[in-house]
Structure 1
Amino acid sequence: MKRILSALLLLVGAHASAAAPDIQKDNLYPKVEMQTSMGTIVVELDRTRAPITVDNFLNYVVKGEYDNTIFHRVIAGFVVQGGGVGPKMDMKKDGKTIVNESGNGLSNAVGTIAMAREGDPHSATRQFYFNVADNTKLDPSPRRWGYAVFGNIVEGLDVVQAMSEVATGHNATLNWQDVPMAPIILKTAKLLPVK
């Protein structure tokens, strides 16, 4: 019986370690390349300031969860948001919510990437946004939680700015405003190798 139990525990342990994705836990500033229908964007993430948020985002990246999604909310002079909706306006499955790491010293400045959330400050899961303006009103204050910034664009800010200027309107499927009239596709998101 002990042999069977030992073998079973080894098998479970091997399966768990094989299933764990490589998110470069020792890399404090991992980079992710996003191939979109409007061009390439590279973001550098800051694990020193937002370790939980970076790990959460990278888990979605390495599992291919962002591939073939759309940027579904675009507001000129404000944000470009994506990560949770497919091209047929299908909502992607959310993982667990994460702790809000706003107040980490990173501001919602132009060219940064941050986590979208609902009214609950700890409700972020998979959706993210790019700031296309200095949105300091999204930063925390003594009276409210902010939106957690976890990196910045190091290549392709012009691509994101162009995204922010596309025509948008109401989408009847999701009953949302600010949806691009022509879909902006996030074709792939991949974790770049450490250099």
Structure 2
Amino acid sequence: MSLLPLIFTAGWASGINAYAVVLLFGLYGLTGLSDDVPVGLQRADVLIAAAVLFLIEAVADKIPYLDSFWDSFHTVVRPASGAVVAALIAGPDGSLPQLAAAAVGGTSALVSHLVKAGLRMAINTSPEPASNIVVSTAEDFGVAAIITLAVFHPVLAASIAGTLLLIGALLVLLAASRIRRFRRRRRERRARREEAALAG
């Protein structure tokens, strides 16, 4: 069976939580649940680093505004991780199919990251913090569920990931005006505070 569905799903999930993807794939490969996981993801140092970074992200991703800063920082990290994981899944030979896999994984990771970051900006327009915790927890469980499904049923997992990506993109478009108004109000408040500080 083609590895493309697995590669696409890995990229989509990497755009949401790259560390969870590396950790889960590594554990599934290490325990023998999947033969498609490259040895590089099963190394102890890789798994430990992924676990530590996953725990840090699990906290940072649930705090309003810190989550958006974290997303900004990971605009490069998540697509790069998606590309690397995809290339490793495709094989170690440096061939054209491997480069194409890296492009698919990196692109799907970038798009899903932008959708995630946009939705988080929309959520941060709400004054209460509970929505951040709920959405972040849902993302964590969603990534775990989709990656687990991809190990056993990659085509179904890719179909679900593609559907979620499309829905997320539509939600970001619908929330775009709300995000713009919120950011404009924040800039205006910041400008007023700076003017007050200068006047004082």
Higher strand share: 1
- Give the TM-score of the pair, scaled to structure 1: 0.24
Q: Normalising to structure 2: TM-score of the pair?
A: 0.24
Structure with the bigger percentage of helix: 2
